[in-house]
Amino acid sequence: MTVELQTGAVAAPGRVRLRDWQSRLDACIRERRALPFAWGSQDCALFAADCVEAVTGVDPAADARGTYSDTKGAARMLKKRGGVEALADEYLGERIAPLMVAAGDVGVIDQEGGPMLAVCVGSHWLAPGVDGLVSLPIEAARVAWRVC
């Protein structure tokens, strides 16, 4: 089930942007900016979930936290949920055109290692990298979801 917002956009049920979502999202990004990639804590799915929680107050990955800590565990979790896109569909609802994103929205960017979730911060995407968050061009997303 989805909820239609005043803008005509569609959000997951019960999820709305908090009044202070921008400052909460900025704080989340500041906290995570220099953290290196780590399965189960600073991977693309949990970074995106942390940003969604900053924007909405709802943690879409609450049931996945603590269930994996390495590549094999992450692969099992993603396989169980149908992959990165199915996971985002389940937690974020209907897809939007990638170039229609706004700050706080989530997208999928194809990388050498496979699809990766990233968070829109206006003119570009952020995602966890080896030495901290990396910036990717806004045009890089193949699919995206509005975070309410």
Nearest alpha-carbon partner for 9 in 90, 124, 92: 92
Element (H, E) at 128: strand 124-129
User: What's the whole-number mean pLDDT along residues 12-38?
Assistant: 91
Angle at 129 between CA 128 and CA 135, to 5 degrees: 75
d(CA 65, CA 48): 13
pLDDT category at 6 given cuts 50, 70, 90 is very low
Looking at residue 119, what is its pLDDT? 98
pLDDT category at 14 given cuts 50, 70, 90 is low
Residue 123 CB neighbour total at 10 angstroms: 9
In this prediction the pTM is 0.88
Fill in the amino acid letter for 38.
A
pLDDT per residue as tens digits for the range 34-46:
999 999 999 999 9
d(CA 134, CA 118): 10
Please name the CATH architecture into which domain 3-145 falls: Alpha-Beta Complex (3.90)
Looking at residue 148, what is its pLDDT? 87
Is the model's pLDDT at 4 over the cut of 80? no
Share the mean pLDDT of the chain: 90
pLDDT per residue as tens digits for the range 61-114:
999 999 999 999 999 999 999 999 999 999 898 899 999 999 999 999 999 888
User: What's the whole-number mean pLDDT along residues 3-24?
Assistant: 66
CB 26 within 8 A of CB 58: no
Q: Which two tokens stand for residue 101?
A: 């994103």
Is the model's pLDDT at 10 over the cut of 60? no
